[in-house]
Amino acid sequence: MCEFLHVVRASLGRLRRHPESKAWIDKDVLLDPTCIIGQGACLYGDVKVQERVRIESNAVIHGPVSIGAGSFVGSNVILGFPPKSELAKLMNRGGDLHRAPDRGELTIGRECIIRSGTCVYSGVSIGDRVSFGHNVLVRENVHIGKHTLIGTNVVIDGSSEIGERVSIQTGAYICTNCKIEDSVFLGPHVVLTNDKYVTQKKTELVGPTIRRGASVGANALLMPSIEVGEGSVVGAQSLVTGNVPPYTIYAGIPAKKLKRIPPGWRTSLLAQ
């Protein structure tokens, strides 16, 4: 079923460089001949890799995964990791991690950059030119729009919608069931939460909604199910306990209205 490549085979096309690279590539894998596959990389199951993709050393890809042209997959990246429920089932029945008939596909767009140590689960779709820092985690059922930046150590915990041209800075935490619209900025270490009673009462887990062009300062915390309005700004280190109306600055613990957004800022926002 599997085959270990001592020398990359002609049937995979003219894979360039690293002619003795020790990559583990399943027979089902479709590799464009212009791809570069690093030492120790493992491609399992139904994996499709378009032209000029570079997969660095020791990356592990569990199909079904498709990777668009010109994308970069760094060292130690893991793609297509199974969600918790599926992993438990696989462990119970001793199944193959790389063979799950009903597993959702992970699709990655063109010219994406996925830096070292990042792990993206199955059932995620990523638009073109999305850029990830190092050691990012994205769990299942997440969509990330094109041109979005996801910083180092960011965790996106599943079942969330993230727009285009969003910037999520280093170490931010996005809980499950969030909606982050286009051109939103989340500063370093921002925390979004979905569990009002911290597990002592059973509640539906609903994360925040952040509307188009809003910005949240570093280390701010958003309580469950609140909404930050279009173009608004939340100050650093704030605790947001209720909705923030559009084009308004909120800050403090708990966050309160400071003022409306100056007109010049709105212009720069709309120009994005």
- Subset of residues 31 to 90 that bind its own copies, contact rule: CB under 8 A: 34, 38-40, 42, 52, 54, 56-58, 60, 70, 72, 75-76, 78, 81, 87-88
Among 14, 27, 201, 259, binds its own copies (CB under 8 A): 201
User: 76 is written with which tokens?
Assistant: 């130690």
Check binding of 175 to its own copies (CB under 8 A). yes
Residues 90 and 109: beta-carbon distance below 8 Å:
no
C-beta of 221: minimal distance to its own copies in Å?
A: 5
Using CA atoms, how far residue 61 sits from 3, 48, 50, 102, in Å, is 15, 10, 14, 17
C-beta of 9: minimal distance to its own copies in Å?
A: 14
Residue 10 or 198 with smaller CB distance to its own copies: 198
Check binding of 253 to its own copies (CB under 8 A). yes
C-beta of 79: minimal distance to its own copies in Å?
A: 11
Check binding of 223 to its own copies (CB under 8 A). yes
Largest interatomic CA distance in the chain: 65
Residue 145 or 213 with smaller CB distance to its own copies: 213
User: 134 is written with which tokens?
Assistant: 């190092």
Q: In what order do the strands lie in the sheet with 142-144?
A: 30-31, 47-49, 65-67, 106-108, 124-126, 142-144, 161-162, 179-180, 209-210, 227-228
Check binding of 100 to its own copies (CB under 8 A). no
Check binding of 204 to its own copies (CB under 8 A). no
Rg over alpha carbons for the chain, rounded to the nearest Å, is 21
Check binding of 191 to its own copies (CB under 8 A). yes
Check binding of 15 to its own copies (CB under 8 A). no
C-beta of 65: minimal distance to its own copies in Å?
A: 15
Residue 58 DSSP class: T
Check binding of 217 to its own copies (CB under 8 A). yes
For the segment 125-154, give every residue that binds its own copies (CB under 8 A). 133-135, 137, 152-153
Binding segment for its own copies (CB under 8 A), chosen from 100-108, 140-148, 209-217, is 209-217
Using CA atoms, how far residue 1 sits from 15, 58, 137, 264, in Å, is 21, 20, 30, 62
User: 249 is written with which tokens?
Assistant: 């600055």
Give the residue among 197, 194, 117, 199 at the shortest CA–CA distance from 157: 194
Looking at residue 136, its amino acid is V
Among 30, 236, 243, 260, binds its own copies (CB under 8 A): 236
For the segment 107-126, give every residue that binds its own copies (CB under 8 A). 111, 113, 115-117, 119
